[in-house]
C-alpha cells in the first residue's frame, strides 16, 4: 500500500512538473527576435509554441524570458511606484507591457496616462497602435474559430468601411518557408522522425544506416529533393532561418511603422495590397509571403531583356526592388511610388545610401537564397475588394 502511494505521489509530482514546463510568456533572443507563446524549458534550450508552430532556441541565444504571471507582478509594481500625475511614467510602463505581449495592460496604463494628460501625444499615438494590434489579434482568433466567415467577409455588415479578411499562413506553410529559406551552412535543429527516415530510405533504395549517417541538413536536402509532399511536410525546421531572423530584425519594423498601419496597407485604404500589422509568428510569415509574391509592371523597363516586371522583394537586385524604389522620395527613384491622395507621404528613405535602405538591399542581395523558391503554398492574399491583384493603391 505504501509503495502504491509512493508511486502515485511520484506520478503526481511528475505531472505537475510537466505542466509547469510549458508556461505562457515572452522570449527575446540576443539577435532581437521576440516570441510570444507557450514556453517550455528543455534544459539547454527553450521550445516556444506560437500558433501551433514550435521553435527550439538554444539558451545561449536567449536574451530574456518573461512569463505572464511575472509580467503581471512587474506591471503592478511599476504602476504602484508612479506618482499620481506621472503620465509619462505610465507611457513607459505601457511600453514594457506592449513589448511583452500584454496589450491589455498597455491599454490600461495608457488610458490612465491620457486621463492625467489628455494632450499627451505619445500616449495617444501608442494607444492607437496597441488597439490596432489588439484588434488584429481578436480578428485572427475569430478567424480561427470561424474560418468560413473570415474567407467570405460581408463588408455591408461591418459598416461603411469594407472588412479586411484575416488570412494567415498555416503552421505547414511556415515550415515550408523555413525549409526553402534555410541555407546549407546553417546549424538549425531539424525534426526528422525515425519513421520518416525509414520510409524515405526505402523510397530511394538507400540503406537506412547510410541515410542515418548523414547530417540533418543533408537528410532534409535529400527529402526536399526526392521525397513526396507528405515526407517534405513531416520534416520540421524548428527555428527561423537566418534570412527570416534578419527580416524580423531589419525589415519587419520598417514595414510595420510605414506600410502596415491602419491608415495605409493595414486598413481599408490599402485597396488590393494588404499587410497585417503584428509581429506574432503567423502574421510575420504571412506578411513576408505577401511581400515576396508581390510584383507589378513598370513603365521604364531597362532594355530588350527586361520583362518590365519588378518585385517588391527583388533577390539579387535589391537596389531596384519596389521596396527600395517606392521607399525613396518622389523624383529620386526610377519608379516612384504612386501618388497617395490626401497624404504627405514622400518615401521611407532619404536615399539608397541610407542605412535602412542598405540593410534592406543587403538582405535581398545576400541574406535570402538568390534563387527564388516555390514554397508550394496555396494562399490567396487578402484584398479589400475581394479580388487579388498586384497593383498597389497606396504606399508599400
pLDDT of residue 394: 40
Residue 314 CA, distance from chain mean position: 19
User: Does pLDDT of 391 surpass 60?
Assistant: no
Count of Cβ atoms closer than 10 Å to residue 16 Cβ: 10
Mean pLDDT, to the nearest integer, of 320-334?
Answer: 82
Residue 264 CA, distance from chain mean position: 19
192 three-state secondary structure: coil
What pTM did the predictor assign?
0.64
User: Does pLDDT of 209 surpass 60?
Assistant: yes
- Please state which of the ranges 15-19, 90-94, 203-207, 326-330 shows the lowest mean pLDDT: 15-19
157 three-state secondary structure: helix
Of the pLDDT bands very low, low, confident and very high (cuts 50, 70, 90), residue 250 is: confident
Q: Across 65-79, 265-279, 295-309, which has the greatest mean pLDDT?
A: 65-79
Q: Is 363 exposed, middle or buried (0-12, 13-18, 19+ CB in 10 A)?
A: buried
Question: Per-residue pLDDT tens for 139-198?
Answer: 655 555 555 554 444 444 444 455 567 788 999 999 999 999 999 999 888 999 999 999
pLDDT of residue 97: 86
User: Does pLDDT of 304 surpass 50?
Assistant: no
> Which residues have C-beta within 8 Å of that of residue 6, sequence separation ≥ 6?
none
Residue matched to cell numbers 514595414: 255
Q: Across 170-174, 271-275, 292-296, which has the greatest mean pLDDT?
A: 170-174
pLDDT of residue 232: 95
pLDDT of residue 280: 80
User: Does pLDDT of 229 surpass 90?
Assistant: yes
Q: Which of 372, 370, 325, 373 lies closest to 349 in space, CA to CA?
A: 325
Contact 276, 260 (CB under 8 A): yes
CATH code at 82-145: 1.25.40.10
Residue matched to cell numbers 467570405: 152
Segment (H or E) for 58:
strand 53-58
Give me the helices (H) in the chain, please: 2-21, 68-80, 87-99, 103-116, 121-145, 147-151, 171-181, 194-204, 208-212, 216-226, 229-234, 242-246, 252-258, 281-293, 322-325, 355-362
Segment (H or E) for 392:
none
Distance CA 297, CA 277 (A): 26
Residue 286, phi then psi, degrees to nearest 5: -65, -45
Q: Which of 38, 37, 44 lies closest to 21 in space, CA to CA?
A: 38
User: Does pLDDT of 17 surpass 50?
Assistant: no
User: Does pLDDT of 305 surpass 60?
Assistant: no
First-to-last C-alpha distance (Å) of the chain: 71
User: Which cell numbers hold the place of 356?
Assistant: 535602412
Contact 9, 1 (CB under 8 A): no
Residue matched to cell numbers 511581400: 291
Contact 71, 94 (CB under 8 A): no
- Please state which of the ranges 4-8, 92-96, 112-116, 231-235 shows the lowest mean pLDDT: 4-8
| Domain locations along the chain | 82-145, 190-237, 242-367
311 three-state secondary structure: strand
- DSSP line for 210-260: HHHTS-HHHHHHHHHHHS-HHHHHHSEE-S--HHHHHIIIIIHHHHHHHTS
Of the pLDDT bands very low, low, confident and very high (cuts 50, 70, 90), residue 103 is: confident
Distance CA 324, CA 257 (A): 15
Distance CA 70, CA 172 (A): 32
Q: Which of 299, 276, 293, 273 lies closest to 389 in space, CA to CA?
A: 273
Mean pLDDT, to the nearest integer, of 253-279?
Answer: 75
pLDDT of residue 155: 43
Amino acid at each position: 500500500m505504501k509503495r502504491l502511494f509512493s508511486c502515485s505521489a511520484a506520478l503526481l509530482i511528475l505531472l505537475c512538473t510537466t505542466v509547469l514546463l510549458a508556461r505562457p510568456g515572452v522570449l527575446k533572443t540576443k539577435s532581437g527576435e521576440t516570441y510570444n507563446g507557450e514556453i517550455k524549458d528543455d534544459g539547454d534550450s527553450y521550445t516556444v509554441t506560437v500558433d501551433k508552430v514550435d521553435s527550439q532556441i538554444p539558451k545561449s541565444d536567449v536574451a530574456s524570458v518573461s512569463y505572464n504571471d511575472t509580467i503581471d507582478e512587474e506591471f503592478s509594481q511599476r504602476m504602484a511606484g508612479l506618482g499620481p500625475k506621472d503620465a509619462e511614467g505610465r507611457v513607459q510602463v505601457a511600453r514594457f507591457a506592449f513589448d511583452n505581449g500584454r496589450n491589455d495592460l498597455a491599454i490600461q496604463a495608457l488610458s490612465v496616462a491620457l486621463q492625467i494628460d489628455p494632450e499627451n501625444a505619445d500616449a495617444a499615438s501608442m494607444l492607437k497602435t496597441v488597439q490596432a494590434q489588439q484588434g488584429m489579434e481578436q480578428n485572427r482568433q475569430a478567424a480561427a474559430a470561424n474560418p468560413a466567415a473570415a474567407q467570405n467577409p460581408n463588408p455591408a455588415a461591418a459598416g461603411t468601411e469594407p472588412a479586411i479578411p484575416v488570412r494567415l499562413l498555416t503552421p505547414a506553410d511556415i515550415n515550408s518557408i523555413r525549409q526553402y529559406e534555410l541555407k546549407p551552412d546553417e546549424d538549425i535543429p531539424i525534426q526528422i522522425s525515425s519513421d520518416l527516415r525509414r520510409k524515405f530510405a526505402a523510397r530511394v533504395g538507400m540503406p537506412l544506416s547510410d541515410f542515418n549517417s548523414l547530417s540533418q541538413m543533408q537528410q532534409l536536402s535529400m527529402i526536399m529533393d526526392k521525397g513526396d509532399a507528405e515526407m517534405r511536410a513531416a520534416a520540421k525546421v524548428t527555428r527561423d532561418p537566418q534570412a527570416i531572423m534578419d527580416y524580423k530584425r531589419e525589415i519587419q519594423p520598417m514595414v510595420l511603422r510605414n506600410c502596415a498601419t491602419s491608415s495605409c496597407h493595414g486598413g481599408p485604404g490599402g485597396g488590393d495590397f494588404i499587410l497585417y500589422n503584428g509581429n506574432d509568428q503567423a502574421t510575420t510569415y504571412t506578411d513576408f509571403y505577401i511581400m515576396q509574391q508581390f510584383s507589378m509592371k513598370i513603365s521604364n523597363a531597362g532594355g530588350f531583356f527586361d520583362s518590365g516586371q519588378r518585385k517588391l522583394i527583388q533577390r539579387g537586385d535589391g537596389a531596384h526592388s519596389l521596396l527600395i524604389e517606392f521607399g525613396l522620395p518622389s523624383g529620386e527613384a526610377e519608379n516612384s511610388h504612386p501618388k497617395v491622395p490626401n497624404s504627405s507621404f514622400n518615401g521611407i528613405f532619404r536615399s539608397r545610401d541610407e542605412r535602412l535602405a542598405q540593410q534592406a538591399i543587403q538582405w535581398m542581395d545576400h541574406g535570402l537564397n538568390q534563387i527564388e523558391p516555390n514554397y508550394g503554398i496555396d494562399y490567396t492574399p487578402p484584398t479589400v475588394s475581394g479580388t487579388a491583384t498586384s497593383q498597389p493603391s497606396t504606399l508599400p
